[in-house]
Structure 1
Amino acid sequence: MLYYPEKDQPAIVAALNHGLPLIVCMCAAWCNNCEEWRAVFEEAARENSHTGCFVWLDIDEHFDMVTEVDLETLPVLLIHHREGVAFLGTFRPDKSTLLALIRGSGVSGRIDDPGIRDFLTEPL
């Protein structure tokens, strides 16, 4: 299932509390790449809801959440496990690449946490 912060916060919190990794696609409605990617991301979310908490984050609607993220090129993907950020960056939207990144083993290297997980779990 694909979640949206503006309407699915309780479900996002529940999924994260169950230990699922947070998988956020940061996009914008005006971005052609993002619109092409949305269907693939939704499909990955439907097929892999047991693997992660998939969130579609519109950067214009939730600018406060993305102030610490380089958004020069979209889409930007965040994969955040309990141990920390495993991936944060741009990538060519591809379902097999996405799934490989999600299945990656833990945190590799030091990636600064942009705090999106904290924003998504704050009480409304």
Structure 2
Amino acid sequence: MHATAVNLGVLQRATGDAQAALETDQTTLNALSQGALGPDHYYALCCAAGLANDFFLLGETGAAHDLSSRTRELFVARHGPAHPYTLACVHNHAVIHHELERTDGRDDLLDCDIEPTSL
């Protein structure tokens, strides 16, 4: 269920509804972080990366910067520096960090969706 909620946030963002994605991602991240999986589980990290994107898209660049930094560090610690989603977090953090210093538009962010397990 949580993987589906993370992917729902990705879809909401992709269709331009960052506010709905923010609400989905906040609820999902709270459930994941407080549940048995914990805040550094793969699903929670994917959700946190999405939540940082939501903050950024909604103009909350400071919150996006703080969360993307923590998420990037946890992805590196848990999955290593070469994992595709670690690299996505590195990219997103660079975009967000760069945005703090400019006013001429936004770069594209990358999402971390969760591939369903085979049946």
Higher strand share: 1
TM-score normalised over the length of structure 2: 0.31
Greater RCO (CA < 8 Å, at least 6 residues apart): 1
TM-score normalised over the length of structure 1: 0.30
Higher helix share: 2
